[in-house]
Amino acid sequence: MSLISDIKNQKEKISIIGLGYVGLPLAVSFSEHVSVIGFDLDNDKVDMYKSGIDPTKEVGNEKIKQAQILFTADEKDLRQAKIHIVAVPTPINSDKSPNLKPVEEASKIIGRNLVKGSIVVYESTVYPGVTEDVCIPILEQESGLVSKVDFKVGYSPERINPGDQVNKLENIVKIVSGIDDESLVMITELYEIVVKAGIHQASSIKVAEAAKVVENSQRDINIAFMNELAIVFDKMDIKTSEVVEAMNTKWNSLGFYPGLVGGHCIGVDPYYFIYEAQKLGYHSQIILSGRKINDSMGAFIGEAIIKKLILANKQVKQAKVAILGVTFKENCPDIRNSKVFDIVEKLEEYKIKPYLVDPQADKILAKEEYNIDLIDIEVLEEVDCIVLAVAHEEFKEMASEDYNKLFGQHCDDEKVLIDVKSILNQTDVEKHGIHYWSL
């Protein structure tokens, strides 16, 4: 019997290393068919999963309660598994260089607990060459085993879109690759257990690694183009959203919109590609330019806020500014690498300490990890400026009258609303005497 057959018959187990926005949905999906061990170094997170609580909101509390998963922070439990899938984050350092420490540490943990006949699959985003040049040597050193001979290795880039309840793991085509033909076949069969949209077999691990960083870099560049247009259109007094609406009537329009580009994929992956290109003597032009534009948008929006406050005859230092939404994207609780904080930083340069509201983000986690005090929108009153930074459903469901109430007794022309994602109707907002600005 093959290893995959044993997995399907629950004679062998798989492990998921890293139980965040990628690893948790992966573990839950596989647990509906096979025996799964869910491993994470964060004991508090593991305890929450054991209690049936899903802080990521990707699968929901009920599914966590029903899932037959051995949640653990004890690495020795990994010895029970024959297939290991690595889904740890791969962030960047302060100098924008790749931070491979999480994937290196995961490789060490797996290596210490690796048994002969196992398969290790990496899903974490890396630049081409990391799996074979960095991870496999660690696995071999820690385990004393030899790749291809004693264990197999593959790479299958994650494509989960946090907060997206339509494009989920099961209905997104999965790219797979292996260190040899045998591993490619086995890894393909593994993911066919849960992925219904189909499997794409890459010709090599490096091709699969490159596909991940390139698909996010492509999106980054397209959004950067729209952001650059938004900056210019602002000077021309043209509404970018109206231009995009008109442009999208053509069949081959790509439908991108301007906005803040953060998070742990689009805001990070291009730097992995840029880093490796520079090592090879090539200095990126288009990709790096796109990153610079997108990284500058928080400051640009911050300056727009100050300008609008001045036009509304507000004393900038004393202005009461409320920012609605701090997560890196809509309908998602994740605040990692959120570019909303670039807006906060710009406002603080003008001695403004904004009031932060986000019904999706975890208040306790925001305080513990980022020293952020989130408040409820109900306690907001007499604000001078509202910054609608993230298009959460809760904010989209509010009418212009609801936003106007937050200004309290302010006179007309003394109220400012900054609509970053252009989710409100400008005409309706301006009926209340509000200075409206959108990206």
Looking at the annotation, which residues are catalytic? Answer: 265
Residue 39's SS3 state is strand
Residues 6+ apart with CB under 8 A from 261: 220, 223, 224, 227, 267, 294, 297, 339
Residue pair 375/357 in contact (Cβ under 8 Å)? The answer is yes
Angle between helix 205-236 and 286-295 (nearest 10)? 50
Which of 359, 411, 243, 226 minimizes the C-alpha distance to 300?
A: 226
**C-alpha separations of 256 from 163, 227, 273 in Å:** 18, 10, 22
Cβ-contact 339, 260 below 8 angstroms: yes
| φ, ψ (nearest 5 deg) of residue 406 | -70, -20
Distance, in Å, from the CA atom of 3 to the CA atom of 60, rounded to the nearest integer, reads: 31
Contact 265, 216 (CB under 8 A): yes
